[in-house]
Amino acid sequence: MLLIFGLSVFFRTVSRGTFHCPNCGGDRRYRRRVARRWFTFFFVPVIPLRRLGETVECEACRTRFGVSVLRLPTVRQMTEALPAGMRAAVATVLTADGSAGDASRRRAVEAVRGYGDEEYGDEALELALVSSGHHLDDEIARAGAQLATEAKEWFLAQVVRVALADGPLSDGERQALHRVADRLGMTSAHAFGVIVMTEGAANP
């Protein structure tokens, strides 16, 4: 006996983009799809019924994931976050006392280039120095989200060396360094230890 009525699930694509596929292990194109149950007549959907949820489907391996997978940063985003974070961090420290000397500026440019922005120079640094504080904090936080504990320590140490290039740390610079550390996700005690050790290494 032929059944002409039935229930079936159909998917509708609502958006596309690029994400980090946990199955492929790299950046891939995805389709965000909504699943809905339909009443069918001769296998043709005619009446929409209950919405069943959303999935994210990798267009390369066809694996489906929950939409929370889109919160994972792509490789490109991670690559861009580190130099952007260092640009923001050195700008935060260089503006702590209202001015910065030539030695600190040169060290700041070197630090940013060391984190992947090889085109960074004096003009770009000047632009960074007039950026808003909240914007800088957000950039540092994005970089911190990509770094392991040891990498955060190294990152902060590089910023300390920028501040030390013109001489001993001022109170304003110390406060700025702790602000950078906080946005990286470090505790105050942890940051204090890194700052003191870096100072000691710079002044044997």
| Average pLDDT score over residue span 83-103 | 89
Distance between CA atoms of residues 99 and 168, nearest Å: 15
Distance between CA atoms of residues 123 and 87, nearest Å: 12
pLDDT of residue 7: 64
| Average pLDDT score over residue span 89-108 | 89
CB atoms within 10 A of CB 105: 19
pLDDT of residue 105: 93
6 confidence band (pLDDT: 50, 70, 90): low
For a pLDDT cut of 90, what percent of the chain falls above it? Answer: 52
Distance between CA atoms of residues 69 and 19, nearest Å: 8
Distance between CA atoms of residues 48 and 136, nearest Å: 48
Q: Spell out the residues 6+ positions from residue 130 whose beta carbon is closer than 8 angstroms to its own.
A: none
